[in-house]
Amino acid sequence: MFDLEDLQDHFSLCYQIRTTKVALLSANLNYVYRVIAADKDYVLKIYHSRLWTEDEVESECRVAEFLKFNFIDVSLPIRSATSKFASQLRHAGSNYTAAVFEYIKGTPMTSGNEKQLQQLGKIVARLHVACDRCPFIDEIKRPTHNTRTLIARPIKTISDRFPLTAKQGALLERVRRTLTRAICSLEPTPTAFGLCHGDIQPRHAIVQEDEDIVLIDTECIYLGWRLFDFASLIRSTGGFGRNWNSFVAGYTSICPLGAHEMSLIPSFCIARTLSEIEVMINHEQNNDSRMTHRRLLREFEFMDLLLHQHF
């Protein structure tokens, strides 16, 4: 846990903004603080030291700023006194990368609200279209989602870190074959492959008083297949259904999807599950804990269910 007075000093020094209060909002993969200043409120995000580099955070913020200036509703990152986004914090003998964003007032959208989900689909589609116009895309240092990072690497991490039963090993092998065949069938065309939000879910979509929706938490921006954004939403809202159709209707009103792309969404749901397992394993300090094993079993059951329902 970071000392709040130290964070106030860091904020004032790096961003030349006098603050009155700093309060912890969440402490999951990253530490997120609300910073109250005289003019407005901000969010100070301190990134997990093993998951994001300073260059990756700087690139995230550059993309978010580009999107905001191109009329995409995302939380605006704030430049420091040196005109950079990312800053460095020293805590408990380790260096951490931090960034500041505008604080968005409102409430997280509800997964059962069809109107909001349709609006979210339109926002995600406009985000994908805007990203295709990003003039500095070749300079961006962000993770790339390909068959190695979506399939081979997480499966190896799981196999190396957990004692798998014969049934679990067979399931992972079936997952590997299914995903490789499916993902390799989707050509990395500009409409299907590009910069994406990376973590679309209701709690990352803030509904304001005027009912406009603003996307927050852009730390998972990546370069890869855009169906991964669909998979993120499905996992966070409990699967396919009427509400899911509302999101698709909103998205396809701007970016049409072919039948083949639609058929591949379950495959990307499995790939998203593998990615979450990999993050969980790398984040856990005690990987043989009962909690980690229980969650791993639930994720295996989810992948097995998707394989039976869609393949």
Cβ proximity of 120 and 200 under 8 Å:
yes
- Domain extent, residue 134, equals 108-310
- The string of DSSP letters for 215-282 reads E---TT-EEEETHHHHHHHHHHHTSSSHHHHHHHHHHHTTS---HHHHHTHHHHHHHHHHHHHHHHHH
Q: Are residue 81 and residue 182 in the same domain, yes or no?
A: no
Which residue among 54, 85, 103 closes a domain? 103
Give me the CATH number covering residue 306: 3.90.1200.10
Q: Give pLDDT, residue 91.
A: 86
- Give the separation between CA 114 and CA 123, rounded to whole angstroms: 14
Same domain? 127 vs 158? yes
Residues 205 and 283 in one domain: yes
Tokens of 85: 């986004």
At residue 286, the pLDDT reads: 47
Which residue, of 85, 103, 121, is where some domain finishes?
Answer: 103
Pair 44, 150 in one domain: no
Q: Kind of pairing, strands 31-37 and 19-27?
A: antiparallel
Q: What does the pLDDT profile of the chain (311 residues) look like in tens digits?
A: 799 999 999 999 999 998 999 999 998 889 999 999 988 999 999 998 778 899 999 999 999 999 999 999 999 999 999 999 999 998 888 899 999 999 999 999 988 889 999 999 999 999 999 999 999 999 999 989 999 999 999 999 999 988 899 999 999 999 999 999 999 999 988 889 999 999 999 999 999 999 999 999 999 999 999 999 999 999 888 777 777 889 999 999 999 999 999 999 999 999 999 999 988 887 765 445 666 778 888 999 999 999 999 98
Q: How many domains does the chain have?
A: 2
Longest dimension (CA), the chain: 60
Own/partner contacts of 265-269, CB < 8 Å, gap of 24 or more, are 265/227, 265/230, 265/231, 265/234, 266/306, 266/309, 266/310, 266/311, 267/178, 267/179, 267/182, 267/183, 267/310, 268/183, 268/225, 268/227, 268/228, 268/230, 268/231, 269/231, 269/234, 269/235, 269/306
Closest CA to 41 of 28, 25, 29: 25
Same domain (yes/no): 30, 177: no
Q: How far apart are CA 79 and CA 69, in angstroms?
A: 14
Judge if 54 and 155 occupy the same domain: no
Q: Which of 103, 134, 150 is the last residue of a domain?
A: 103
Identify the pLDDT of residue 281.
83
Rounded to two decimals, the pTM is 0.92
In percent, how much of the chain has pLDDT > 90? 75
CA angle 172–175–181, rounded 5-degree value: 145
Cα 223 from Cα 203, distance rounded (Å): 22
Asked whether residue 204 falls in the same domain as residue 232, the answer is yes
What is the model's pLDDT at position 28? 82
**In this structure, are 199 and 303 located in the same domain?**
yes
Residues 183 and 57 in one domain: no
Q: Tell me, what CATH number does 89's domain have?
A: 3.30.200.20
Helices within the chain (DSSP H only): 4-15, 54-69, 114-131, 147, 153-161, 166-184, 227-237, 242-252, 259-263, 265-283, 290-310
